[in-house]
Homo-oligomer: A and B are copies of this chain.
């Protein structure tokens, strides 16, 4: 039986309020074997109280050994099997710049590149132009018209932009035109089915025009396209869980991921204290609150152990304000690990604490990877976390008589 069908069958029409606080990339590693992780180094009295009163564990974002991107990491936390629901690169790129993708869109990641007089690629990233130049070039491309589709071109940064083709019956089974090599021409786009062939033809027309429009703009005198992706058909959180949900996130990517599963997007400001103020403001209106904290990931990506420790401590400091709202279920976890030692996302299981009155408390002294290892939640796939939240919020009936 499908997990979402089971949830639809068991869910109650009412129940408690759930806060899911995601510290992006929370899990870490010690710099030296046997040392302490970032979370273990940080002074986190409020998280430690949660780990004492609540129930802890380690979550696997996808499967053992699999490092997720932000898309699968968050889909798992929202209770969607990240192996079943895939978000294409084009759509993620569009979400990341706050472009509101619609079901009629195919979103595509574009790269400015340099071609020689014969049209052979000499630099796949066009010498990494400034973002200002990227913006100017995108304005030129945005003027291109393709019959039968609407065209949107939005800058990202440096050589990167987003192309969105909007129209009816467009498929996304289209190859990348980036040949991943220099000294060769960009590949023509081709579709694997009729709908995708329509997209490919529109893309080829766009690229032919782009070559014309950009021809005097070397090194940004051509573009390649990658990651053709339609907006995935995903049942909303409302439909699955019956939860009125809102996202309190600062970065566009996470707002976009939340919008993808049907959450309302709160005006969250730009700082953690703005986010907490927003949470307080919208508290009466929702059942489920997804709060996203970016800096545990970005400091990890920077390889800055001390900064990640500091960001964890800053997050810890707002826990009392969240608890003051009396959530029925408060979960703190990450969408994946980002050990500063590795300067990247990783596959290591992610510490989780779930606090609710119906907890079998672990009584831990510290919220840490090493204590979470023996927590009452065990080691589990992230996609089951929402079911636990629903149960503790009194939102599930009994399965079978």
Question: A10 contacts the other chain (Cβ, under 8 Å)?
Answer: yes
Within 8 A of B (CB), among A366-401: 369-370, 373-380, 384-392, 396-401
| Contact indicator A378/B58 (Cβ below 8 Å) | yes
Cross-chain contact B69 with A388 (CB below 8 angstroms)? no
Contact indicator A357/B33 (Cβ below 8 Å): yes
Which of A342-360 touch B at CB < 8 Å? 342, 344-349, 357-360
Interface-lining segment among A81-89, A150-158, A188-196, A216-224: A81-89
Q: Considering the complex, give the chain B residue whose CB is closest to the CB of A253.
A: B401
Selected contact of A6 from candidates B83, B348, B357, CB within 8 Å = B83
Please tell me if A25 contacts chain B, counting CB pairs below 8 Å: no
Asked whether B29 lies within 8 Å of A345 as measured between CB atoms, the reply is no
Q: Quick one: copies of this chain in the complex?
A: 2
Residue of B nearest to A29 (CB): B360
Tally of chain A residues near chain B (CB < 8 A): 72
Please tell me if the beta carbons of A64 and B380 are within 8 angstroms of each other in the complex: yes
Chain B residues positioned under 8 Å from A69 (CB to CB): 398-401
Contact of A401 among B71, B349, B360 (CB under 8 A): B71
Complex: A391 Cα to B386 Cα, angstroms: 27
Q: Is the CB of A30 within 8 A of B360?
A: yes
- Distance from A307 Cβ to chain B, minimum over Cβ atoms (Å): 20
A89 contacts which of B86, B347, B376, B401 (Cβ < 8 Å)?
B401
CB-CB < 8 A to A92: which residues of B? 400-401
Residues from chain B with Cβ under 8 Å of A345 in the complex: 398
Assess whether B82 is in contact with A400, with CB atoms less than 8 Å apart. Answer: yes
Contact flags A63-101 to B (C-beta < 8 A → 1, else 0)? 111111111100000000011101101001100000000
Interface check A363, CB cutoff 8 A: yes
Q: Is A53 an interface position by the 8 A CB rule?
A: yes
Is A62 a contact partner of B376 (Cβ separation < 8 A)? no
Bound CA–CA A243/B42 (angstroms): 39
B67 touches A391 (CB 8 A): yes
The reply to whether B72 and A400 form a contact with Cβ atoms under 8 Å apart is yes
| The residue from B86, B357, B360, B369 contacting A400, defined by CB atoms under 8 A apart | B86
Which residues of A (28-74) have their CB < 8 Å from a CB of B?
29-30, 33-34, 37, 52-53, 58, 62-72
Set of chain B residues within 8 Å of A360, measured between Cβ atoms: 29-30, 37, 348, 369-370
Q: With A52-B34, A68-B399, A391-B67 in contact, do A358 and B62 touch (Cβ < 8 Å)?
A: no
Report whether A70 and B373 are in contact in the complex, using a CB–CB cutoff of 8 Å: no
Complex Cα distance, B86 from A52, in Å, reads 38
The yes or no answer to A3 lying at the interface (CB within 8 A) is yes
**Do residues B10 and A401 form an inter-chain contact, with CB atoms below 8 A?**
no
A interface residues, Cβ below 8 angstroms from B: 1, 3, 6, 10, 29-30, 33-34, 37, 52-53, 58, 62-72, 82-84, 86-87, 89, 92-93, 227, 341-342, 344-349, 357-363, 369-370, 373-380, 384-392, 396-401
